[in-house]
Structure 1
Amino acid sequence: MGLYAFVAKTKKVSRPHGSRVPSQKSGRFTSNQHPQHHSHVLIVRAAPVVPVLLGPRIPRRNGSDAERDRWARDMCILFKPWRSPSELLSDAADWYLRLQHILPLLESNDRTVIENMSLMAEGKHARDA
């Protein structure tokens, strides 16, 4: 599950002080080293939410080569499953090629969100031009 789907489908909830750590793995952070392993659990939302992305705007997919590369990097960060940043680019030295490799592996819903994000970025660029 990529970062976008993780945020859309799960919620972090603090456990009451003194309550036991769940004996089963569901809901717990997977690493005992996680700073919130004993104080929080993850729950699956009843209905997914739409994550709000804060920060710099998503670049255009059809912009300059540099803009296209930043767009591909952002899509990899949001939709490719990863635990450490080194897993994102791996052997490929080019973000766009990496994204082309993972796009067929994504769920159709994720591909639809990527397409919608791209259309929004193109529309904002056309509006501001």
Structure 2
Amino acid sequence: MSTRILIVDDHPDIRKLIQLTLEHLEDAELHETDNGGDGWRLAQSIKPHLILLDVMMPGELDGFQVCQKIKADPALSHTKVILLTARAQQTDRALGEQVQCDAYLTKAFSPLKLLETVDTLLGRCR
């Protein structure tokens, strides 16, 4: 069974960096979109195991709102969410905790740190 991972970020270069970082994961099935509204709809459709979610995106939903919806949905509440954001203030991190994200990484993040976080959340050993 493949591990479904959803990447939601409005910057194509960040999505590409994440893809390149995660492409070495065995059995990973990567999906992506560039805004929160589509990310929410895609999450409902594919039921990912993990979502890498930007916080500041154009459109109807930001990353905090998407995370909150995912954690409140019984069909998705088990989904692990990593917030990836340039918002590094303690108040931002507190809001991440409030919406129950599983990890909070600030941009520019280390690809190695991202991979370690993904492995930890998915229960993988390296």
TM over 0.5: no
TM bracket (short chain): under 0.3
Bigger CA radius of gyration: 1
- TM-score of the superposed pair, with normalisation by structure 1: 0.24
